[in-house]
Amino acid sequence: MHASKKAQPMNDKTDWARVAAITDSEIERSVASDPDTFIPDVQWFDKAQIVMPKTKEMVTLRLDHDVLKWFKHDGRGYQTRINAVLRAFVEAQQH
């Protein structure tokens, strides 16, 4: 790998002493009070299903420059984002 391709160190501002001082009970209280916390129970696991990703087909697609630029704005994964938008459109048309 070329020197210019090496990962640059991040400017880490984490207060690691503060992180290390947090007790397990403080973490548990914080998790319990977070409305976005989801802790799966036995019933959830009983109903869970493995869903394998669908295979994708390689295609050549011509897009307007500004449309492609918009999808690429957030970096890697832009093709997945384009696919998600197209999937949402197809599913909306099927209902």
Query: Is 8 inside any structural domain?
Result: no
Query: Is 45 inside any structural domain?
Result: yes
The span from the CA of 8 to the CA of 5, in Å, is: 9
| pLDDT in single tens digits along all 95 residues of the chain | 455 567 767 778 899 999 999 999 999 999 989 989 888 899 999 999 888 888 889 999 999 999 999 999 989 999 999 999 999 999 999 97
Q: Which of 76, 84, 75 is nearest to 56 (CA)?
A: 84
| Total structural domains within the chain | 1
Query: Is 5 inside any structural domain?
Result: no
Query: Is 83 inside any structural domain?
Result: yes
How much is the pLDDT for 5?
66
Query: Is 7 inside any structural domain?
Result: no
Domain range spanning residue 49? 13-94
* DSSP summary character for residue 7: P
Query: Is 81 inside any structural domain?
Result: yes
Query: Is 4 inside any structural domain?
Result: no
Query: Is 19 inside any structural domain?
Result: yes
